[in-house]
Amino acid sequence: MLRPALITALAAAAIAALAFATGSMIGVSVPTRAGAAPVTLAKTGRAAPELTGLTKWFNSAPLKLADLRGKVVLVDFWTYGCINCVRTLPHVVDLYDTYKDKGFVVIGVHAPEFPHERSAANVAAALKRHGIEYPVAQDNKFATWNAYKNQYWPAQYIVDRDGTIVYEHAGEGQYDRMKQLVGKLLEKTS
């Protein structure tokens, strides 16, 4: 027979996993589907950790989140050998192309799952293959991954103009929700 404390802990873990897997939005009202009432939660997100331990940068000089205050940022953890990651890339590229001239920045954090994914030449080939023009950095030692307490490929973190994580999502999907949220955040004055 399960003890009440264990049941409570299991229920809390299941709720937390569901919230993370479906994406959690904090402090922004965004409709979830056409005609649906918007979801609004109090702004209680955590400050976005600084990018750290990133080695090779592609498509950009090294970036710091502190220098990007006033912009909306998507930090996208991925690796080129992960099929789930590869399936998200067209959506991330579309999001970047839609908002890059409106104060939106995408930072791809390439964290390797396998040893061959540590190669800068292999990452560069993947960027070319997928038409990725936004900044991407290698996190071969998982320093930024650990700073974000990330556990999944792929995972997306949307950071508002003040440097607060307002949305987290692991896995595929939630593309329309992310696009709506970025648009809404860009409409807000800094």
CA pair distance 132, 126, nearest whole angstrom: 8
- Label residue 5 by pLDDT band (50, 70, 90): low
- Strands 104-110, 72-78: pairing is parallel
- The answer to whether the beta carbons of residues 144 and 109 sit under 8 Å apart is yes
> What are the residues whose beta carbons fall under 8 Å from the beta carbon of 124, sequence distance 6 or more?
58
Number of H helices, E strands in the chain: 5, 7
Confidence (pTM): 0.79
- Label residue 25 by pLDDT band (50, 70, 90): very low
Residue 21 Cα distances to 24, 97, 151, angstroms = 8, 25, 12
pLDDT in tens, 34-86: 444 443 333 448 999 999 999 999 999 999 999 999 999 999 999 999 999 99
Q: What is the mean pLDDT of residues 115-144?
A: 98
Residue 148 has pLDDT above 70, yes or no: yes
Q: What is the mean pLDDT of the chain?
A: 85
For residues 176 and 22, the model is more confident at 176
- Residue 7: CB atoms within 10 Å: 11
Q: Specify the fold of 24-187.
A: Glutaredoxin (3.40.30)
pLDDT in tens, 91-128: 999 999 999 999 999 999 999 999 999 999 999 999 99
